[in-house]
């Protein structure tokens, strides 16, 4: 089995090359957009989908997090200002996000396909994505929208803890670490992401509420939207994604089950 792709082309942009270019997938490449409020669990679904479809995870948030870890000298003023927006829970301006995605548009053409997480967040971003794809004669396979009541989301997010060293993610109520405050895998003290603090969550939810509906309408009008209830364990939500997309996608597309069978 191949080692995981480091996604350098996406995370770093410019001329960076990925460690592993995907081989041809067994069927046509999947090109998915994942939608849903922060904390709904779409990051976990994105990972499951990427593993099963052998597609690359393209998360705009990961671009910002990778930039945060670079020394100040390696960041543009636009990226520095984007990190400020992120800390405050505000959306990064469209122009900044679109410049970053356009610079990385070769990832959209990748033969392995992609799962976009965190992008598009506004109609302007959705329209630009459609334009970038159309220019290359490509089409999205679907826009999967994960849904959960807002109270449940706030509870989930404020209980999330992450390991700054190995990036493991915990949930204090449903998936706590074995020793309080310490990573099970590497023993590093766990942290709460700046944007998972309750005061920031409220700003993020407001930003999400204002921008999400027009994006959902955009994909509904395009006939690409599939909405999926996101309560329960990740594997159950994946199974639901599989059953709710069955028969709704273009010819040749069917999500594999846990054993990889279509
Ligand atoms: P996420 O983890 O996807 O919720 O993203 C965390 C933060 O990154 C957001 O609160 C925004 O500040 C920023 N961000 C990520 N993707 C985008 C985007 N497509 N448009 C605007 N801001 C974004």
- Which of the following is catalytic: 42, 104, 161, 242? 42
Taking residue 231's Cβ as centre, other Cβ atoms within 10 Å add up to 14
Q: Which atom of ligand 1 is least distant from the CA of 89? A: 10
**What is the torsional sign of CA 138, 139, 141, 145?**
positive
Distance, CA of 175 to chain centre: 21
Tokens for 144, please give them. Answer: 């999967």
Is 121 a residue of the active site?
yes
- Which of the following is catalytic: 52, 193, 197, 239? 193
- Which of the following is catalytic: 31, 104, 160, 161? 160
Q: Which atom of ligand 1 is least distant from the CA of 85? A: 12
Looking at residue 57, what is its pLDDT?
A: 93
For tokens 């509420």, the residue is 209
The size of the chain, in residues, is 262
d(CA 138, CA 26): 18
Tokens for 62, please give them. Answer: 């990961």
Residue 200, ligand 1, Cβ within 6 A:
no
Q: Residue 133: CB partners within 8 Å, gap ≥ 6? A: 31, 108, 139, 140
Is 160 a residue of the active site?
yes
Distance, CA 23 to ligand 1 centroid (Å)?
30
- The structure's pTM equals 0.86
Looking at residue 25, what is its pLDDT?
A: 63
Residue 64, ligand 1, Cβ within 6 A:
yes
d(CA 251, CA 188): 47
Tokens for 101, please give them. Answer: 């995605």
d(CA 50, CA 34): 12
Decide if 88 contacts 200 (C-beta within 8 A).
yes
Q: Residue 15: CB partners within 8 Å, gap ≥ 6? A: none
d(CA 15, CA 8): 9
Is 204 a residue of the active site?
yes
d(CA 96, CA 86): 12
Q: Which atom of ligand 1 is least distant from the CA of 38? A: 4
- For residue 147, give Cα distances in angstroms to 24, 197, 232: 32, 21, 12
Distance, CA 86 to ligand 1 centroid (Å)?
7
pLDDT (tens, 9 = 90+) of the chain, 262 residues, equals 445 788 999 998 888 999 877 665 678 899 999 999 988 989 889 999 998 998 999 999 999 988 888 887 778 888 888 899 988 888 899 999 999 999 999 999 998 999 999 999 999 999 999 999 999 999 999 999 999 887 788 888 889 999 999 989 898 987 899 999 999 999 999 999 888 887 888 888 887 888 899 999 999 999 999 999 998 888 999 999 999 999 999 988 999 987 777 7
d(CA 180, CA 260): 36
Residue 60, ligand 1, Cβ within 6 A:
yes
Is 239 a residue of the active site?
no
Distance, CA 91 to ligand 1 centroid (Å)?
6
Distance, CA 172 to ligand 1 centroid (Å)?
23
- Which residue's CA lies nearest to atom 3 of ligand 1? 118
- Which of the following is catalytic: 121, 156, 161, 242? 121
Please report the DSSP string for 79-125 in residue order.
HHHHHHHHHHTPPPPHHHHHHHHHHTGGGTT-TT-EEEES---SHHH
Distance, CA 65 to ligand 1 centroid (Å)?
10
Distance, CA 120 to ligand 1 centroid (Å)?
9
């Amino acid at each position: 089995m191949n080692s995981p792709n480091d996604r350098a082309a996406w995370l770093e942009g410019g001329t960076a090359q990925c460690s592993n270019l995907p081989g041809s997938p067994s069927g046509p490449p999947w090109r998915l957009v994942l939608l849903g409020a922060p904390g709904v669990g779409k990051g976990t679904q994105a990972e499951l989908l990427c593993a099963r479809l052998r597609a690359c995870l393209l998360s705009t948030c990961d671009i910002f997090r990778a930039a945060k870890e670079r020394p100040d000298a390696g960041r543009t003023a636009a990226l520095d200002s984007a990190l400020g927006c992120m800390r405050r829970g505000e959306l990064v301006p469209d122009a900044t996000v679109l410049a970053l995605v356009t610079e990385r548009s070769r990832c959209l053409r990748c033969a392995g396909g992609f799962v976009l997480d965190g992008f598009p967040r506004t109609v302007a971003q959705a329209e630009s994505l459609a334009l970038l794809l159309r220019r290359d004669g490509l089409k999205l396979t679907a826009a999967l929208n994960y849904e959960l009541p807002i109270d449940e989301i706030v509870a989930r997010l404020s209980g999330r803890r992450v390991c700054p060293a190995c990036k493991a993610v915990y949930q204090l109520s449903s998936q706590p670490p074995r020793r309080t405050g310490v990573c099970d895998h590497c023993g590093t003290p766990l942290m709460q992401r700046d944007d998972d603090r309750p005061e920031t969550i409220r700003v993020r939810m407001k930003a999400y509420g204002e921008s999400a509906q027009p994006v959902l309408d955009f994909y509904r009008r395009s006939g690409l939207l599939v909405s999926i209830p996101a309560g329960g364990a990740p594997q159950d939500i994946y199974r639901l994604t599989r059953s709710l997309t069955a028969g709704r996608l273009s010819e040749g597309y069917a999500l594999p089950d846990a054993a990889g069978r279509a």
